[in-house]
Each structure stands twice: as C-alpha cells, then as structure tokens.
Structure 1
Amino acid sequence: MNNPTRTPVSRRSRPAKDPLSQEVIVKTAFDLLEREGSSGLSMRKIAKALDTGPSSLYVYVKNLEELSTYVLDYGLGKLVLPPAADGSWQSNLFDALNAYLTVLYESPGLAELALTTIPIGPHSLALMEYILARLDEGGASSISAAWGVDLLLLYTASVAFEQTSRDRMGTTLQTITETFRSLDPLRYPMIAALKDVMFSGDETGDLQRFRWGLEAILRGVLQTGDKAPGRDVNA
C-alpha cells in the first residue's frame, strides 16, 4: 500500500558523485587502509565506499596487486628525504630510513603493504634511488648496493610492521618482557642470561636498536663486495 504522506525523492536531487578515476580510487583505498588496516584493502570495500560496483574499478586498475602499488606510493608521498648535500652519506642514509620508518608507522597498514608489494611507483623509486646513491658514496660495490638496498628497506618495513602490529593488538613490551623473565633458566639458559638486554635499546625513544640494526646491515653490505655468494674466497 502506498504511503500518501511520502514525498518522492528524485535521483536528480541527490549529491553528485565525484567522477571515478584512478586518483579517486587510490585515495579511497588509502583511506580504508588507514582506518581498517590491510583488511580494508579489497576491491569490494573500495567499490562500496565509492558507491559503485567492483567491476567499475577494473577500468582504472588491472587488479588488487596493481592497486596496492599505487596505494603504497600514495602513502610514501609524505616521505621527505634529507638533502644529499647536508651531512655525511651515512647520516643521510640513516635519516632517510628513519623518515621511511616514521611514515610506515604513522599510516596503519602501510608497513604491511611495504612488505608484500613491489615498490614501483615514483615515490618508492625515489627512495630506492636515494639509498643507492648514498651506498655508492660509501663505496659499496654494484652487487652489494643493488642487494643491500633491498635488505635495508625490508628491515625498516619489518620494524615498522612489528610496532604497528603490537599497537593494533594492544600488546605492550612489558607483557613480552615479563613472559621472557618467567622462563625456566635451566631450559633456556641463554635467554635467561640475556633477558634484560634482549628488550633494551629503545627505552628513551631514540631508536638505538633500530640504528644498530641498520649499522649491522650496512657493515655487511660494505664488506661483502662483489664475490659470488657461497664461493670460498680462498679457493
């Protein structure tokens, strides 16, 4: 039965939607990633947020994998790299990776995306180019620089992912340390002996532990050279 008091609403009176484009899709996907983490990055959810069907998105992106590369690069648009002329090559390298860590940490879901997505966007490539240039300044060989940049980026992303995951799950470092301190020293003598040191390094917020990891990787990168992996240098 029709309601005589109901006022018909014309579709023309509805607010006009923004025209669909790759830029709009990427921005919407990034917003969902920040609100919901990686679970928000699905074609169905993005389409729903844009009030359209999933099939409409494929006009602008091939698949979710391609969209993920655009979303990652969109997030890295916030990254500010230190001027190469300021400071030493090593301090610039560490400052760049620290800035990368901060961007990943401040955008929930972006760290996980950095670990699972091939970085081919302009902002991602600019970061890679910057790191390669600093490694070249430091005297790294071609293989060491080409493979070392991957190690440095993966290490930074993994640290950011660990931190954001703990925050999301509400797991504090105190909870983890208490668990380790309660372990049986007879069964785990090395862990018991090092239990206090294992969780040290970042108490003051100055990222000592993160920097130590970067320095350890960097020393290996600079010392390895271009010798073939697994080959005995004395052979």
Structure 2
Amino acid sequence: MNTTHRTIVSRRARPAKEPLSQEVIVKQAFLLLREEGISGLTMRKVAKTLDTGASSLYVYVKDLQELSSYVLDYALASVKLPDSDSEEWKNNLFAALISYQQVLYKDPGVAELALTTMPLGPHSLALSEYLLKQLAASGMQAASAAWGLDLLLMHVTSSAFEHVSWAKNEKRSFTLMKEAYLSADASQFPFIHSHKNELFSGDASNNERFLWGMEVILQGILKQDQ
C-alpha cells in the first residue's frame, strides 16, 4: 500500500480569473502587440493568454480587424493633447501630432497597426476632434480641415512606420540603399548624384525632416484654401 502523502489542490483555490469583457480582451491584445509586434495580435494568442477559447472572444469583438481597431484606440490613450488656445492653434496642432508620433515610436507594432487599421473608440475620436479644432481655428474651410486632417495623420503614421521598420530589422537594407545612392554614377544619374548629400540630410534628433514635412503639408492646405 502506498502511504505517500499527496497534497491535493482544489481548483477552487486558484486565483479567480478576471471576468471576460471587451476591455480585458483589448488590454491583453495590446500587451501581446507590445511584446511580440503585429505577429502577436491573433485571436488564438489572445485567447490563450486569457485562458479561454478563441470562440469566447467573438462574443465581445466581431473579428480580428475589429479587435485591432480597438487595440489601436487603446494605444492612442497615451497621446497628449495640449490645453486648447485658438491663438496658438499651430503650436497645439504640431504638439499633438508629435505626441501621436511618439506613441507610435514607443511600440513598433502600434505604428504598423496605425498604417493598416482604422481606430475605433473614444481616443481616436478625441484626437481627430482636437486636430480639427486647431485647423478650424486657422480660419480654413471645413473641407480643407477635414481633408488636411487625413494628410497630416498619414504623414505621421507613414514616417513612424518607416522609423520603427529601420530601427527594428532593416538597418542593413537601409545601409545598402544609402550606399547605392551615394555611389550612383554621375553620368547616368546626374540628379541623384548632385543631391546625394541632401537625400540623407536632416537632424533626426530634433525631428527636422518630420517637422519640415508637417509644415509643407500645412502651408499647402492653407494656400489651397485661399
């Protein structure tokens, strides 16, 4: 007879799981995105970390696309919107866009998500509302503000995605591309040769090229609106 004493642990002794909800699912999906990048954002992985089946998630989100939209909005909660002042509309506009850029820089997966997903939720609405308010304070027409909003957001998301892509795993490819441009045959590619230094210029530490792009877009909108 085996007299070895065994400790039986009741399932009731386990810590209770947090009740499943859309908020819990979105938060966990965001954490996976932060840890693993865009590849971590799958219904199966989210369900596994929540100790449930993927089918349980569909009670709260329609599909992965909808979940991705909510995750992006969750990330946008970190965007800082300065106190609004109509006399400082341009400074406010740029400060909000730079804050948005920094949120995308912080988590590379979020930058990719922003380029491929339409956000759903209060934080994305708050960002758009704020930016539209600043553009409207310039006196531009509603259509110009609405269309200009798209251009400015696209500038931020595309530049952020490029930044995190190079930083993540494309440094070698960037180096090869730069070498190819810098060594381009002057007789065959005269304009590339004459502009080779300017093509890779701009102080990245102070967002020189990024800010230049925002200024060009903004001034173009204002000019077109006249």
More helix by share: 2
Asked if these proteins are the same fold (TM beyond 0.5), I'd say yes
Larger displacement relative to structure 2 (32-41 or 187-196): 187-196
Distance 1:5 1:193 in 2: 83
Percent identity (aligned): 55
Distance 1:11 1:152 in 2: 53
Larger displacement relative to structure 2 (153-162 or 189-198): 189-198
Distance 2:6 2:183 in 1: 68
| Shift of residue 175, structure 1, vs aligned partner | 5.4
Distance 1:195 1:87 in 2: 40
| Shift of residue 220, structure 1, vs aligned partner | 1.5
Secondary structure of the 2:108 match is: coil
Checking the alignment, whether the CA contact within 8 Å between 1:177 and 1:195 is kept in structure 2 is no
Which residue in the other structure is 1:121 paired with?
Answer: 121
Which residue in the other structure is 1:57 paired with?
Answer: 57
The one-letter amino acid paired with 1:198 is L
Q: CA 1:60–1:107 in 2, change beyond 3 Å: closer, same or farther? A: same
Which residue in the other structure is 2:179 paired with?
Answer: 178
Distance 2:191 2:82 in 1: 41
| Shift of residue 176, structure 1, vs aligned partner | 4.4
Distance 2:94 2:176 in 1: 30
Secondary structure of the 1:88 match is: helix
Distance 2:5 2:181 in 1: 69
| Shift of residue 214, structure 1, vs aligned partner | 0.4
Which residue in the other structure is 2:28 paired with?
Answer: 28
Q: With structure 1 as the length reference, what TM-score do the two structures score? A: 0.87
Distance 1:185 1:51 in 2: 61
| Shift of residue 170, structure 1, vs aligned partner | 4.9
| Shift of residue 171, structure 1, vs aligned partner | 0.8
Q: Which runs of no fewer than 5 residues in structure 1 stay unpaired?
A: 227-235
| Shift of residue 7, structure 1, vs aligned partner | 5.3
Checking the alignment, whether the CA contact within 8 Å between 2:79 and 2:103 is kept in structure 1 is yes
1:141-174 CA-to-partner distances (Å, cap 9, x unmatched) read 1211111101100110111111111111051765
Which residue in the other structure is 1:105 paired with?
Answer: 105
Distance 2:137 2:87 in 1: 12
**Alignment length (residue pairs):** 223
Q: CA 1:162–1:81 in 2, change beyond 3 Å: closer, same or farther? A: same
CA RMSD of aligned residues (A): 2.1
